[in-house]
Amino acid sequence: MDSKTRQRIERFIAPYRVDDGRKFRLKHIDPADTGGLQSEAKADAATMLADSVAWLAEEQEKLYAQDKWAVLLIFQAMDAAGKDGTIKHVMTGVNPQGCHVTSFKAPTSMELDHDYLWRSIVALPERGRIGIHNRSWYEEVLVAKVHPEILARQKLPAGAVGKQIWKERYEDISAFERYLSRNGVAIRKFFLHVSKSEQKQRFLERIDDPAKNWKFAAGDVAERQHWDAYMEAYESMIRATSTPEAPWFVVPADNKWYTRLVVALAISDLMEGLDLQFPRLAAEQRETLKIARAQLMAESGKGR
C-alpha cells in the first residue's frame, strides 16, 4: 500500500476510531456525516470501496497462507442500521473458505447453561481466517442492560448480580479481548451509528415494500421506545471497552454508501498493519520443488 493510499484511509477512519474511550461522547459523531464527501461523490466512494474490496481479497489470501493471525470483526448496531448490507458489500470479494459469519440471536437453552462469552468463544476464527460476528458478547451490556429481566434467565448465582455487574462485564470483556490480541487475534469493532429518524424511514420501507416485508418484526418498533436507554448503553460500552488493541469505530450509518466505505477502509488499515506475506520456502523446500518439476517435465505425453 503506497503512502497516498494510507493517507486517504487515515482521512476517512481517524474521526471515528476510539482507542481510549474516556473522552468519548456519542453526540460528537453525526450519523449523517459523510466525511466531506457530497452525494454527487458517491461514484468516487464506490470506486474507493471497490479498490478496497479487491485489495482485501489479496490480503485475505496472504492471511490464509501465512496462518499466523486470525481477524475478528465485531458489528453492533440498532435495528436497520445496515449491518448485513455492510458485511455483504465489504466482504464480497473474500474467499468464502477463509471467512465465516456468525449471527447471534437470543440465547438458546444450551447457551444459557454456559457463561455469556461461551457461544462467542466457540465461534472465534482460527488462524488464517476472518471471523465476523454480527452482534456479539456486547449484547450482554446492551440489551441485557436495557432489559434487566434478561439477567434472570441467565441462571446466575444471586451473588453474581450486584450493583457493579456492568462495570464487571466491561472489565471481563476488555480483559478477554486483550488475551485474544496477545494470542494473535486482531480485533476491530464497529458500531454502525444510525439516527432515530433514519431508522424510522427504513422501517417504513420494510413495511411498504413487499420485497422487504420479511425484514420487519413488530418487536423492532417496540425497541424504539427504549432508544435513549440504548444510546446511553452504547456510549457507556464504548467508553469502557475501547482499547488500542481492540478499538471501536463509531461509523455514521445514515448513508449506507459511506458506512460501507469507512468499514472497508478500517479493515484495510488493520490488514496492512499485520504485514501479511506469503510464506517463503526454505532452501530444502525449494530443492524439493525443483525435483518435482523435473519429474513432471520428464513425463511422456501419455495420460493427457
183-209, pLDDT tens digit by residue?
999 999 999 999 999 999 999 999 999
Band (pLDDT 50/70/90 cuts) for residue 97 is confident
For the chain, how many structural domains are there in total? 1
Contact criterion met (CB below 8 Å) for 71 and 271 = yes
Residues in contact with 234: Cβ distance below 8 Å, sequence separation at least 6, in sequence order: 26, 76, 142, 191
pLDDT value of position 39 = 67
pLDDT value of position 1 = 75
pLDDT value of position 40 = 62
Q: What is the mean pLDDT of residues 140-149?
A: 95
Q: Is 232 exposed, middle or buried (0-12, 13-18, 19+ CB in 10 A)?
A: middle
Q: What is the mean pLDDT of residues 210-231?
A: 91
d(CA 271, CA 285): 28
Q: What is the mean pLDDT of residues 147-166?
A: 89
Band (pLDDT 50/70/90 cuts) for residue 283 is confident
| CATH code of 74's domain | 3.40.50.300
Q: What is the mean pLDDT of residues 122-142?
A: 97
Q: Is the pLDDT of residue 249 over 70?
A: yes
For residue 304, tell me if it sits in a domain: no
**Any idea which residue has 471497552 for its cell?**
241
Report the relative pairing of strands 99-103 and 248-252 from DSSP bridges. Answer: unpaired
Band (pLDDT 50/70/90 cuts) for residue 301 is low
Residue 291: which domain range? 3-298
Q: Is the pLDDT of residue 303 over 70?
A: no
pLDDT value of position 304 = 55
Claim: this prediction has a pTM higher than 0.85: yes
Q: What is the mean pLDDT of residues 79-97?
A: 93
